[in-house]
Structure 1
Amino acid sequence: MFENRPNCSDEVILVGRSNVGKSTLMRELTGHSFETGGKPGVTRSPNHYDWSGDDFMITDLPGFGFMSGVPDDAREQIKTDIVRYVEDNAENILVGILVLDGKSAVDIIDRHSGEDEIPHDVEMFHFLRDVGIPTVVAVNKMDKVDDEDDRLNDICDRLGLYPPWKQWQDTIAPMTAKRGSIGSLEDAVCGHLEDAKRDDLKKFF
């Protein structure tokens, strides 16, 4: 499922837990609908969207973490496949977008923080950065959060970024994909494209 990568040299990827709104965000970015479901784990293989004539695509990678009705070994395999895909294509990935559910991310991270356990979201954030991919954390569903600044500061803290979050606007992007409110994410991604001297790709964001 992961072998059918289109022959595009440059790409932006979306990663994150199941059911955080990656497919909805993909639709906002591309104007193209992908299969989404109320049940976690609908996307099992990468969704690639490329523009004819441009050597560029956006890829929505499958969700990781808990998926109802999906056995543990299958979940682990999906995570392994995501890591391998990112490693294999790291030099072509201009930006990695880690999508979090702003309402539940802190609780989930805290629930899975232990002596011998690193929460998936935290692990994925550091993994992307370790392989040299500029990373933006898209904190989705912010319309359901009352104390926005406190929540974003808590997320920074869990990711090892020193709060306040406003000093990380190239990294932390609060948004609500379902309402099309993704301006802060687009700004952050465009900043990284500028850094990569790829202003020609900003038209997609």
Structure 2
Amino acid sequence: MSAPPVSHKPKHGIKRKHNLAKLKSRQKVKTMEKIEKKNNAVTFEVIFVGRSNVGKSTLLKNLTGRNVRTGKRPGVTLKPTHLYFDDFLITDMPGFGFMSGVTKEKSEDVKNNIVQYIEGHADRIMLAVQVIDGPAFVEITERWDSRDEIPIDLELHDFLEEMEITTIIAANKMDRVKETEKDELLTEIVEIFGYGTDENGESTGVGWKESGALVAPVSARGGDIRPLISHLKNEFHKMKRDDLFKHFN
């Protein structure tokens, strides 16, 4: 019996896969080069930081009009999301703390990456907006205290202070708080952060507006972000960067 004829048909499937892999590789290199070029042009950066699921991405979307990845699950943002405006960069950082579907080890990796990012870009990070869940903040802090653990919001705030980064505290979800209770809650929040207290941590009796803290009560979902815009513009003005006003709604 004679041997079957050898097929000389080209292996189109393998060729296509090989070409596709090469194309993806070239696209990745081009993307990285483009990002590197943008990063080299950045001289002024604002970062948005905070616990998972406090509304950082929604707040940023309302602030700039740019589409930012958002989601209802804690931990949707696992890597920094960048919004470029010439030499100005806004970065939405991943959330600290609990992240749905993410292991404790991965959560710690994300936290360490945030710290490393801030340390690595401290020369250009001029402002930080630390977003907190206003209505839940006091309860969350007390829960951490009861376990003799440093509340993660305070740990983050202290770290930003150590890096000498001006920080605005954006107390989000304030539409859920009664008008008659807002001043008392905001005063308690700033005292927890160490403003409006004496050397023993006792309240000095001053309200949140007189405490010296940069606090912006906002509602990202409700679209009320004017206090944050006001603080940002004030800080930009001090830094002689009024030209950045145009990038905010």
Q: Same fold (TM over 0.5)?
A: yes
Please name the residue that 1:187 is paired with: 230
Instruction: Return structure 1 stretches of 4+ with deviation > 2 angstroms.
Output: 3-6, 202-205
Hey, what does 1:157 align to over in structure 2?
191
- Kept in 1, the 8 Å contact 2:195–2:212? The answer is no
Per-residue deviation at 1:42?
Answer: 0.3
Root mean square deviation, CA, Å: 1.8
SS in 1 for 2:221: helix
1:32: which partner in 2? Answer: 66
Shift of 1:99: 0.1
Q: How many residues align?
A: 201
**Alpha-carbon distance, 1:114 to partner:** 5.2
Other-structure match for 2:159 = 127
How much identity, in percent, do the aligned residues show? 45
Q: Does 1:14 align with 2:48?
A: yes
The higher radius of gyration belongs to: 2
Q: 2:103 aligns with which of 61, 71, 96?
A: 71
What are the superposed Cα offsets for residues 34-78 of structure 1, whole Å, 9 maximum, x if unpaired? 221111000000110112xx2101110001111222111111111
AA partner of residue 139 (structure 1): A
Higher relative contact order (CA 8 A, sep 6+): 1
Paired with 2:127 and 2:245, the residues of 1 have a C-alpha distance of 12
161-170 vs 30-39, greater mean Cα deviation: 161-170
Secondary structure, counterpart of 1:33 in structure 2? coil
Structure 1 counterpart SS, 2:49: strand
Q: Secondary structure at the match of 1:15?
A: strand
Report the TM-score, using the length of structure 2 for normalisation.
0.76
Any stretches of 5+ residues in structure 2 without a counterpart? 1-31, 197-205
CA offset at residue 84 of structure 1? 0.9
CA offset at residue 157 of structure 1?
1.1
Structure 1 counterpart of 2:125: 93
Alignment of 1:132-143 (within 5 A): 132-143=164-175
Letter in 2 for 1:120: I
Q: Determine if contact 1:13/1:95 at 8 Å carries over to the other structure.
A: yes
C-alpha displacement at 1:12, in angstroms?
Answer: 0.6
- Which residues of structure 1 form unaligned runs of 5+? none
One-letter amino acid matched to 1:79: K
Residue in 1 aligned with 2:90? 58
Match of 1:202 in 2: 245
Shift of 1:170: 5.9
**1:197 CA displacement:** 1.9
Higher share in helix: 2
> Structure 1-normalised TM-score?
0.92
